[in-house]
Amino acid sequence: MAGGVTFTPVSISGQTAPESTSTHHEPPQRPVFVTTHWSMVLTAGRSDTTHARAALEKLCQAYWYPLYAYVRRRGHSPEDAKDLTQEFFARLLERNWVGRADQQKGRFRSFLLSAMNHFLADEWDKARAQKRGGGMTPVPLQFDTAETRYGHEPVDNVTPEHSYERRWALTLLEEVLQRLRSEYEQEGRTELFTALHPCLVGDRTAQPYAELATKLGVSEGTVKSAVHRLRQRYRELLRDEIAQTVAELGEVDAELRYLFAVLAR
């Protein structure tokens, strides 16, 4: 995951009509909502199936940083924050704390924050005397960049909880951008993505379509169509990423609105 995260505010409403038609070859349709990881984990509950554990570990690897930053905001040193975060995720996986999750409050971000607060209050004193990980299998988290990222963030006076939610939203957007970039790379269109991805930010009427057309050696109409497809796929992946962190697909829209409201504060 990249060290810095950029808020990428594209339209998230229903599908819009293309800005221009083109004979440009359309990429193959990709599946959306293939699975929802957090709902899979909650459904498995105490059974801790192999697929559910793999899904949970993937979510933890994607969304560990907001918790690390939360622990730092609670006053812990960088080294203690690393130990705490690693130990927390190791226990989360090995002791299947998810089996006690309230499915009526099924957002993964809410579960993680509640579980971390419980861990900080009741578990860390017991674990501090032991070697990090307590004999449990650690989750491979990229701590080498954690403090650099944390140090580059602006100082603010908001609560640790609000900072956690903001970092969660930004991490989610970065995950979406990474998935989108990977798709273009796998299709051999890295250059196109590099040229067009800045168009995800800002009003579409202000985009430098003519300049991009010259740079790419195509017509302006082709660029507009390519940007439309990029934005459309971004919206699809955004909804899919959120779906992986809520218990039911019906919660996606509410979670989407909430996270964008957090970013707008």
Higher pLDDT, 132 or 144: 144
Q: Note whether residue 21 is domain-resident.
A: no
Q: Where are the alpha helices (DSSP H) in the chain?
A: 37-44, 50-73, 78-94, 108-122, 124-127, 146-152, 160-186, 190-196, 209-216, 220-243, 252-264
Give the up-direction half-sphere exposure of residue 97: CA atoms within 13 A in the CB hemisphere. 18
What tens digit of pLDDT does each residue of 37-83 get?
Answer: 898 888 776 566 788 888 888 899 999 999 999 999 998 999 989 98
Place of tokens 């957007």: 173
Q: Which pTM does this prediction carry? A: 0.77
- Identify the domain containing residue 205 by its residue range: 37-137+145-264
Q: What is the rounded CA–CA span in Å between residue 209 and residue 222? A: 9
Look up residue 154 and give its two tokens.
């602006």
Q: Note whether residue 10 is domain-resident.
A: no
Neighbouring C-beta atoms of residue 47, cutoff 10 Å: 9
Look up residue 224 and give its two tokens.
């507009």
Backbone CA torsion sign across 57, 76, 111, 178: negative
What tens digit of pLDDT does each residue of 177-210 get?
Answer: 999 999 999 999 999 999 999 999 877 777 889 9
pLDDT band at 2; cut points 50, 70, 90? very low
Q: What is the rounded CA–CA span in Å between residue 149 and residue 5? A: 9
What tens digit of pLDDT does each residue of 212-227 get?
Answer: 999 999 999 999 999 9
Q: Note whether residue 6 is domain-resident.
A: no
Q: Are 222 and 213 in contact, with CB atoms under 8 Å apart?
A: yes
pLDDT band at 19; cut points 50, 70, 90? very low
Q: Are 176 and 238 in contact, with CB atoms under 8 Å apart?
A: yes
pLDDT band at 22; cut points 50, 70, 90? very low
Q: What is the rounded CA–CA span in Å between residue 108 and residue 114? A: 10
What do you get for the CA distance between the two ends of the chain, in Å?
25
Higher pLDDT, 162 or 27: 162
Total domains present in the chain: 1
